[in-house]
Amino acid sequence: MMVTMKKIAELCGVSRGTVDRVLHGRGRVSEETAANIRRVAQELGYEPNPAAKALAARKHQPKVCVILPSEGNAFFDDVIRGLRTAAAEYQIYGLSMELLTMKGYDPERMLTLLDKAADADAVLIDPIDDARIRERIDAFVAAGKFVVTVNGDLPDSRRHCYVGSDYENGGVTACALLEAFTHGHAVVGVVLGSRSISGHRARLGGFEQRMERSPGLSIAAVVENDDDEFTSFERTKAMLQTHPDITALFLIAGGVYGACRAVKEFAPERRPTVIAFDSVPSTVEMMKEGIVQAILYQHPYRQGHRAMELAFDKLVNGREPYKEMYLLNHEIRLLENV
């Protein structure tokens, strides 16, 4: 019960210092005693006490730098709230957080922000899919920084782990929901943010995959809105005019409000069933008006909180993340449980 280094030291007839050296591999310790210590620690199931670790680590004053393309995107509001709440909780351990934000998806701009993260011990980032960004992340990891991707991933980089939603499952779930809402018969119009965003592609892929089991569902058209409300409005309107047979709308990205404004241009009896992502205020408003029937919620608060928690565990407790992908399931929400 409650194995400590002290106890191991006593059992092995050595000092705590020696045990520490062995267990942390920072030794110059004879192989004989080292082996013995390792064996005893193993057998007794030694686990370092996080409280003691945190206490002893207070001099480090670890810095966490957060980089998000969040400006003008309400989705990130709750991500940031989760990050801040967690950071406040960990402040007492000397942990501090710096938030760097940008608007849009310009790699150059993100590289500038990454420059500012040079002195951070950990970097939490929603990365743009760009070779230079990936290289910079790899360099950070090589320099000993702890790197977590949030909301968006860069799977072929060397980042330690990813926190975010399972995009493909989001598409699958959306399709199943649409099937239930329409009794399996619908002609779907899809509004994409951009094909260059891997998460959006994955969602559409999941949707199409699930659609193979729904013979009554078909996709009439796919438009891109670049996450912009006005582009969203115009292209959605054009799509609905060109395809009067559309009975359902699948909104994969931002620009939900713009698409809904387009829907409102049509008479109520011609309006499609609409499914979207995220419960940002303007989308909730559209739910109240009956334009959007359901959303898929991506747990933004939990994404932020979890990412910061991982940084804390690593930096303060010295605990590695126990898995590489922290995937949050999409949650189906109606107006009644937003």
Partner DNA sequence: TTGTACGCGTTATCAT
Partner DNA sequence: ATGATAACGCGTACAA
Q: Which residues of the chain form contacts with a copy of itself (CB under 8 A)?
A: 1-2, 47, 49-52, 54-55, 58, 91-94, 169, 172-173, 175-177, 180-181, 210, 293-294, 329-337
Is the separation of the CB atoms in 303 and 150 below 8 Å? yes
Pick from 174, 137, 177, 170: which is nearest to 156 by CA? 137
Cβ proximity to a copy of itself, 51 vs 143, nearer residue? 51
Q: Which of 21, 210, 237, 306 touches DNA by CB under 7 A?
A: 21
Give the total of residues touching DNA (CB under 7 A).
33
Pick from 173, 171, 175, 170: which is nearest to 214 by CA? 175
Report the distance separating Cα 64 and Cα 124, nearest Å. 7
Cβ 95 to DNA shortest distance, Å: 13
Q: Which of 10, 17, 116, 324 touches DNA by CB under 7 A?
A: 17
Q: Which of 10, 39, 43, 53 touches DNA by CB under 7 A?
A: 53
Is residue 252 involved in binding DNA (CB under 7 A)? Answer: no
Report the distance separating Cα 103 and Cα 110, nearest Å. 10
Cβ 168 to a copy of itself shortest distance, Å: 11
Strand partners, 149: 125, 162
Which amino acid makes up residue 64?
A: V
Q: Which of 11, 44, 45, 48 touches DNA by CB under 7 A?
A: 48
Is residue 318 involved in binding DNA (CB under 7 A)? Answer: yes
Pick from 243, 182, 253, 242: which is nearest to 211 by CA? 182
Q: Give 58-125 as a DSSP string.
A: GGG--EEEEEE--TT-THHHHHHHHHHHHHHHHGGGT-EEEEEE-SS--HHHHHHHHHHTTT-SEEEE
Is residue 39 involved in binding DNA (CB under 7 A)? Answer: no
In what side-by-side order are the strands of the sheet with 161-165? 96-101, 63-68, 122-125, 146-150, 161-165, 325-328
Q: Which of 10, 35, 39, 56 touches DNA by CB under 7 A?
A: 56
Cβ proximity to a copy of itself, 127 vs 171, nearer residue? 171
Residue 34: contacted member of DNA, a copy of itself, none (CB under 5 to 8 Å, by partner type):
DNA
Pick from 275, 278, 270: which is nearest to 300 by CA? 278
Residue 210: contacted member of DNA, a copy of itself, none (CB under 5 to 8 Å, by partner type):
a copy of itself
Is the separation of the CB atoms in 22 and 46 below 8 Å? no
Is residue 29 involved in binding DNA (CB under 7 A)? Answer: yes
Cβ proximity to a copy of itself, 40 vs 327, nearer residue? 327
Cβ proximity to DNA, 49 vs 101, nearer residue? 49
Q: Which of 35, 55, 118, 338 touches DNA by CB under 7 A?
A: 55
Cβ 151 to DNA shortest distance, Å: 32
Is the separation of the CB atoms in 194 and 152 below 8 Å? no
Cβ 258 to a copy of itself shortest distance, Å: 24
Is residue 112 involved in binding DNA (CB under 7 A)? Answer: no
Is the separation of the CB atoms in 303 and 135 below 8 Å? no
Cα dist from 49 to 79, 316, 321, whole Å: 30, 12, 17
Residue 245: contacted member of a copy of itself, DNA, none (CB under 5 to 8 Å, by partner type):
none
Cβ proximity to DNA, 27 vs 205, nearer residue? 27
Footprint of DNA on this chain (CB under 7 A)? 2, 4-6, 13-18, 20-21, 23-24, 27-30, 32-34, 46-49, 52-53, 55-59, 318
